[in-house]
Amino acid sequence: MRFYKKEGRRFPWRNANDPYVILVSELLLQKTTAAQVVKVLDEFLRRWPSVADLALADLGDIEKTIGELGLRKRARFLKEIAAKILTDYGGKVPRGEDLTGLKGVGIYTSNAVRCFAFGERVPVVDANVARVLRRYFGISGKKPAYADRELWELAGVILPARGYKEFNYGLLDVSAKYCRPKPFCNRCPLEPHCSYAIKHSKERW
């Protein structure tokens, strides 16, 4: 949490409180870099500032707006999700586990919206956070992050009582900045207590 306050990345969706903005951002971020999403998000929200606007949007226009992100099927997902929210939830992004009932929304996206939009105390574990947790705690495993229930349970256990939004952002940013596939352990704030860093430090000596 100290790391995030001092060195955390700043993105437009991190300043948002609107669940629609955060849901759209998380869907756009799937298999896409944050830098790419930054390029298209403002235009996307300018054209479709609400669930209703997106539900009524022309599919071709959505595809053009987010085209540089790749994955053309994502435009259809966005429109279908907006239509379902409009018809089934009165145009309001659902809370809690109802989010996973939306097409294209898995546990990661669901928990990201629950935590960052609704302030729920839930873990957020993508492939990068999974790498941090496995290295830090010395856990072996190659399951995809979404399928590793034990890792999700661990991530839930270590959540602080307060500040869990900053905690989750901090894990995401540590993975992006230091705990990469080829890590920078000597610069990482988790290094003094990280099982991976300690092990490899001993190997070097």
CA distance 196 to 126: 19
What are the residues whose beta carbons fall under 8 Å from the beta carbon of 25, sequence distance 6 or more? Answer: 11, 12, 13, 16, 37, 41
**Active-site residue flag, 26:** yes
CA angle 127, 130, 131 (to 5 degrees): 90
The two tokens of residue 140 are 């072996």
Closest CA to 178 of 192, 165, 162: 192
CA distance 124 to 111: 6
Residue tagged 């054209």 (tokens): 47
The CA-to-CA distance between both ends of the chain, in Å, stands at: 31
**Active-site residue flag, 126:** yes
Find the catalytic residue in 20, 61, 97, 126.
126
Range 33-39, long-range pairs (CB < 8 A, 24+ positions): 34/9, 36/68, 36/69, 37/11, 37/69, 38/11, 38/12, 39/68
**Active-site residue flag, 98:** no
Find the catalytic residue in 53, 63, 88, 108.
108
Secondary structure element (H or E) that encloses residue 113, with its range:
helix 107-116
Find the catalytic residue in 4, 20, 26, 169.
26
How many contiguous H segments (helices) and E segments (strands) does the chain have? 11, 0
The residues assigned a catalytic role are 26, 108, 126
